[in-house]
Structure 1
């Protein structure tokens, strides 16, 4: 059975220092393999919806924007090293600038990041980066490392029953959120940058957009922008090394290609038009957390007046009334 295989393999690793290996589908390098591809796909599929719900849920007010993001993502997925993964791309109703990927190609980007991008090539940079995280099994590798640590601590008692493994896979949003929001290693980030840039080039986008975006992220991180620190930078830490290596790669493969600024700006025009309403909502949340309920109520009522179709605003007003 699945669980017994994983448990036995993990225990064997702790006892012998040896374990099952496979070839990384992106890099071609040998790596530890305790979780099969079928298990990887099942994990992503089961955790995708509950993880979205913990991160604000889908952004439904502008369905055309979601379709656009999906189409850009699928264009990149087709040129990836694992084009047959069941990729999905969604826009989340969350002001924090962030994007994440679960195993099996389940990818999300927050509206809070979309409003910060300038063109379609920059969007392609973000999505291509997340595609590599999924294709190269980065979160699966982190899971396996955690399993080995557990095996080392628990010894032979690590073996899980079938029901316990099912609970891990089906355990609601906790595991998915942990995978989505855990910080990637610098090696994972550099790998996702490098192959994501190659995917951009193959799909016809200007890879220089990826360098520009990393330069912006590094500048924002140095300025200690709180929203970014809580979002993208917490999971995808920028660094001067990333900027340098990305620039060197672009110089080698050549810049130039589609930028799509006008198209992108048209696609996010509605989102930008709605931004004052979400700003008021976010300010209301901040005020409520400080116990300033009257001021918070004023802000959330402002948000509702600006966009009365947004259920999230009414939910917040209800919580404020309850104190």
Structure 2
């Protein structure tokens, strides 16, 4: 009876994994802005709605918006210039650029649909408008490459694998988690490198100095300190490794 129960459990687990893989593969599409194949089943309208819904919460987590109109105007000007000079202009995303009041966390990020953010802590570290353009170009790159939507789809696959393996094999939860974590880290690093390249292209097209993107990486490296997480344990590539890829992108587009 125990053996039969194990066989049934294995069958159900494999069926769950197979369904998750089928659902993931069925979402294959070609990104019209990057030309690359990816797995996404969200519409642009759904991405915009998700981003707009999440934006107030993100602002609250970072102390709201910085009350500095001149700095906000500068951010808007650079952000919209990057959009208007690039393939992002042809998208239907709703672009908004937010300068957060958080003066402790050095960070920038983008939500699906065009909501882009930079903290006051990172803004204060930047040396010129070209570096700000580098940061915003990178975040715009995340949006047009649909990285958030793609990660949602990947998470669905990972959850299916975790559930299926856990059902199929008693005590298999740790192995399933490890598989899912490796999948997430791999795609996370690739997303960052692709956004760096897209950001370089936008900077060049908008008339900014793309080499200033390297300065941004140096700021991030310094912020991470000597004890930053090794790349193989992180969803982000090491800033020093990203610099070489940025140089290659500059040579490619100039």
Question: TM-score, normalising length from structure 2?
Answer: 0.74
Equivalence for 2:87: 81
SS in 1 for 2:109: strand
- Unaligned runs of at least 5 residues, structure 2: 1-16, 165-184
Q: Which residue of 1 aligns with 2:49?
A: 42
User: How far apart are the structure 2 equivalents of 1:15 and 1:143?
Assistant: 16
Q: Does 1:130 align with 2:139?
A: yes
Structure number with the bigger relative contact order (C-alpha 8 A, sep ≥ 6) is: 2
- Tell me what 2:27 maps to: 20
Cα RMSD (Å) = 2.7
Conserved 8 A contact 1:13-1:19: no
Q: Give the Cα–Cα distance (whole angstroms) in 2 for the partners of residues 70 and 132 of structure 1.
A: 16
Q: Contact between 1:25 and 1:81, CA under 8 Å: does it hold in 2? A: no
Q: Which aligned pairs between 1:156-305 and structure 2 lie closer than 5 A?
A: 185-224=188-227, 236-254=236-254
In structure 1, distance between residues paired with 2:112 and 2:140: 10
TM superposition shift of 1:48: 1.0
**1:92 is matched with which residue?**
100
CA displacement, residues 150-170 of structure 1 (integer Å, 9 cap, x when unaligned)? 344557xxxxxxxxxxxxxxx
Give the CA deviation at 1:235. Answer: 7.2
1:165-198 Cα offsets, whole Å, 9 max, x none, are xxxxxxxxxxxxxxxxx99721111101111000
Q: Which residue of 87, 105, 112 corresponds with 1:103? A: 112
Cα distance, 1:123 vs structure 2:
0.3
Q: CA deviation at 1:80?
A: 3.0
Offset of 1:143 from its aligned partner? 1.0
1:237, distance to aligned residue in structure 2 (A): 4.6
Paired residue secondary structure (1:147): helix
TM-aligned CA distance change 1:253 to 1:16, over 3 Å = closer
Partners of 1:245 and 1:187 in 2: CA distance: 11
Q: Could you tell me how far apart the structure 2 residues matched to 1:142 and 1:14 are?
A: 15
- Quick check: 1:129–1:196 contact (8 Å CA) kept in 2? yes
Matches within 5 A, 1:144-159: 144-152=153-161
CA deviations over 1:89-126 (Å, ceiling 9, x no partner): 01111011111100001011111011101000000000
Partners of 2:134 and 2:43 in 1: CA distance: 28
Alpha-carbon distance between aligned partners in 1 of 2:191 and 2:153, rounded to the nearest angstrom:
15
Distance in 2 (CA, whole Å) between partners of 1:75 and 1:32 is 29
Deviation at 1:220, TM superposition (A): 4.5
Give the total of aligned pairs. 211
In the superposition, the TM-score normalised over structure 1's length comes to 0.59
Q: How big is the shift at 1:20?
A: 2.2
